[in-house]
Structure 1
């Protein structure tokens, strides 16, 4: 969210509390500051609360639709990144199994390189991705895998079939890796974030124009609405930047492949 990446280092409960408190404070501080102005907007013998209510309803409908679309977009991005990581893990598993069909020493060398590539992603690449850095440390290992495949000369029909399949899977692995790296800095554009933030501010500000005899009731109404908007914005922010924060895509699928096949 903008450049406030430090919020992703906070625990989820603290991040959520920060969002809620920020909007609730805006509502509770803005309400008394605008109370005199709001009262002057109403006539002495007639309240315009019905008009304010209609306007608030229109604003919240439009903003709710926008917020819903943004939330769906962030969840779609999050799910897409998770699918890309799972797909890469699946390709590594298939490639590792098929590499057992090569004769020695090609088989051992290829499997060793795939193990090293998997550990490199889990141990070194992932911490960098969580910081928004596109890692490049596995490039040399991937080049070694490519060299292992290219240097092998099939000597039978079975080896030709196996070699063609392994080469196809290697190309898929390269593409899957590229897709994962491109997702490192995936996030909502700043213009959408400005829309989300200012939409919430406008929605809360409209509640200031109600003319209520009970200030306590007015504060509760404004505070609850502000807290709800803060909670929704926290949800969007937590799902944005899929590799950052506690609600993020992790290397679990790669770890399962390593534990099941390579350890």
Structure 2
């Protein structure tokens, strides 16, 4: 569900949804409180407990946001690492005889283009690409069919196949990142905690302008945290996702 949400809605709209929802909730509950409830404003003990709970919840939100950001950064690093390994494979294959290099060059181009044109789009939907997997298998078959004639070419072959193995392993790690790192139960905890903090803050409001401003800032910060966690939890699936520029740059280098 969250993957679909991230894939089809821009982050600013998610943020606007949360802030609008919280402000409407504030207006409704505050009106209800004024009309039906009479809460003593001098509840220092209650306010202290709420402040402590709010502080602990803020630490938890910060921790989850940090994990999500780390996950996003790791995905970006994997893409840079993968393109470097593919380029190293291509560079070493240039030491092969011309007919062999031409075949491998075509297959490497097809492999990278399949990532650009198919796999990145498939990963936005939570799936790997069978086309990219087929291109990888074909590339491996070509390497396995070739037997270097001398030790000089063998050294290039060893480095090329080693880089190809590393690129394949990095691709597998990239695909594994489709699995969301944050447990589902944490999302429920975040939602419950957010609504609890908002509701308690509303019932402690006295209608003073400064308190209202502070409450609005609380709504803004919580909306930002919720949006950031949702977006960063799916670094390969959203409209704002990891850049495909490293793959485009790789194609340009291989065509140079």
Shift of the 12–179 alpha-carbon distance from structure 1 to 2, 3 Å rule, reads: same
Residue 55 (structure 1) aligns with: 49
Q: Map 1:62-211 to 2 at 5 A.
A: 62-210=56-204
Partner of 1:243: 236
Q: Is the 8 A contact 2:148 2:157 kept in 1?
A: yes
Contact 1:28 1:223 in 2 (8 A): no
Residue 27 of structure 1, CA deviation: 2.3
Kept in 1: contact 2:3–2:238 (CA 8 A) = no
1:163, CA displacement in angstroms?
1.4
Offset of 1:65 from its aligned partner?
0.5
Q: Which structure has greater helix proportion?
A: 2
Shift of 1:220: 4.1
Q: CA deviation at 1:108?
A: 0.3
**Any stretches of 5+ residues in structure 1 without a counterpart?**
none
Q: Distance in 2 between matches of 1:113 and 1:7?
A: 33
Q: TM-score, normalised by structure 1?
A: 0.89
Q: How many aligned residue pairs are there?
A: 256
C-alpha distance 147-4 of structure 1, shift in aligned 2 (>3 A): closer
Residues 99 and 262 (structure 1), Cα distance of their counterparts in 2 relative to 1, 3 Å cut: same
8 Å CA contact retained: 1:63, 1:199: yes
Deviations 1:155-190 (A, max 9, x none): 211112111111211211221111111112434221
- TM-score w.r.t. length of structure 2: 0.91
Task: Determine helix, strand or coil for the equivalent of 1:242.
Answer: coil
Q: Does 2:210 match 1:227?
A: no
Q: 2:3 & 2:24 partners in 1: Cα distance? A: 20
Q: Which moved more, 1:91-100 or 1:228-237?
A: 228-237
Give the conservation status (yes or no) of the 8 Å contact 1:35–1:208.
no
Kept in 2, the 8 Å contact 1:110–1:148? The answer is: yes
Contact 2:14 2:227 in 1 (8 A): yes
Q: Provide the rounded CA distance (Å) in 2 between the counterparts of 1:168 and 1:224.
A: 53
Name the SS of the counterpart of 1:105 in structure 2: helix
Output aligned runs, 1:13-32, within 5 Å: 13-32=12-31
Unaligned runs of 5+ in 2: none
By how many angstroms is 1:33 displaced?
Answer: 2.1
